[in-house]
Amino acid sequence: MASGLFGTDPWTLAARCGEMLRAALPAAALGANALALALGVLASPPSRAANERAAAPQGMKALQDDELADVRGADGIAFNLNNFSIVSSLTNPLSLTYLSPNGSSLTLSGLSLLRTDDADPFADPYQLTLQSRPGLQDMIALDFPLNAAGNQAWSLTADFSHCDMMTAGTCTGTNFVGGTLQVSGLTMKGGGLYISPTTLADTQGISFGLGTQLDIGSLSVFSRGRGSDGSIDKSDTLAITGIHLANAAGGPWMLADLDKHPGLFNADTDSAGSYLHLQVGWPTAGYTVPAASLNIDNITFTTAGVNGASATVTNLGSASIASMQINYVDIKFRPTP
């Protein structure tokens, strides 16, 4: 009986329950008849016209496992970071601290991160897709905006310091205050990040491809830091302006290629212990590692004068690397013994 009732709609189910109760109770017992009558009233379905809403059209359809297995990523999503900003409070600054196993720390405090936008916030978005690769695992592709005009520009400001001994979140050793780091006008033009399970034998981890065209308006270090009002003391400054990183043709430089020159990120263990592993492996046979150029428009040191003397400015001029390649990189991050 239970299997027959569970496939019934709730209105018919309520009516059947009332009928069964009325039929099961003895007609001679007045109290039982009254109870059956009460249960019958409660079980009788209310007026559908008065209480039931019109059935809404279904926007999504449930799929069985075999149907889901046949789904292949063809489309994706596009998104942007319009009006993105993280502005640190002067009274309660945002801080990021790396605490090493030996008790020392590196801290970025007073962290602020901002981005400017295109006039049309969705004209040039990020694109996230799942793409199939014949004979290989599918990959997740995050394509960066083309940003040809450089309107999507990032700015970062943070104070940095190093403490050689932290105890319960407080620096109890020597605290070296390095000053304020400021990056302005950082743009990424094209390229992207591409990830997939690694195909290396007997290796677990994430393979990746990464590349972009990078331009930075200025990268400055102000050794005297900021005042209590947040203003930067620029009397002692290292300023590197006009940093440009691109491939030989002036476009995105692929530091790692997912198919032919993949990067690898994983955790592993060897005879010396466990470690985090970052690698760009050797390229496959026949693949030419792309070359890149690095150009810096100007490097300048400014030192404050002493006893009223004017500041000393040392201009090193420009610098450039006409062509460079990264064939192989292997970095292991180990805890301090």
User: Are the beta carbons of 298 and 319 closer than 8 angstroms?
Assistant: no
In angstroms, the CA 277 to CA 264 distance is 8
CB count within 10 Å of CB 285 equals 6
Average pLDDT along the chain, 337 residues, taken 10 residues at a time: 46 49 45 42 46 57 73 75 92 89 90 94 92 90 96 96 90 93 97 94 92 98 93 96 96 95 94 91 94 98 90 96 96 79
Query: What's the pLDDT at 24?
Result: 47
In angstroms, the CA 292 to CA 288 distance is 12
Q: How many residues does the chain have?
A: 337
DSSP structure string for 237-305: EEEEEEEEEEETTSS-EEEEBTTTB-EEEEEEEETTEEEEEEEEPPPPTTPPPPPEEEEEEEEEEEE--
Per the structure block, which two tokens stand in for 139? 């990959």
**pTM greater than the 0.85 cutoff:** no
* Cα dihedral sign, 16-20-23-29: negative
Query: What's the pLDDT at 164?
Result: 92
Domain regions of the chain by residue span: 2-51, 69-333
Query: What's the pLDDT at 69?
Result: 67
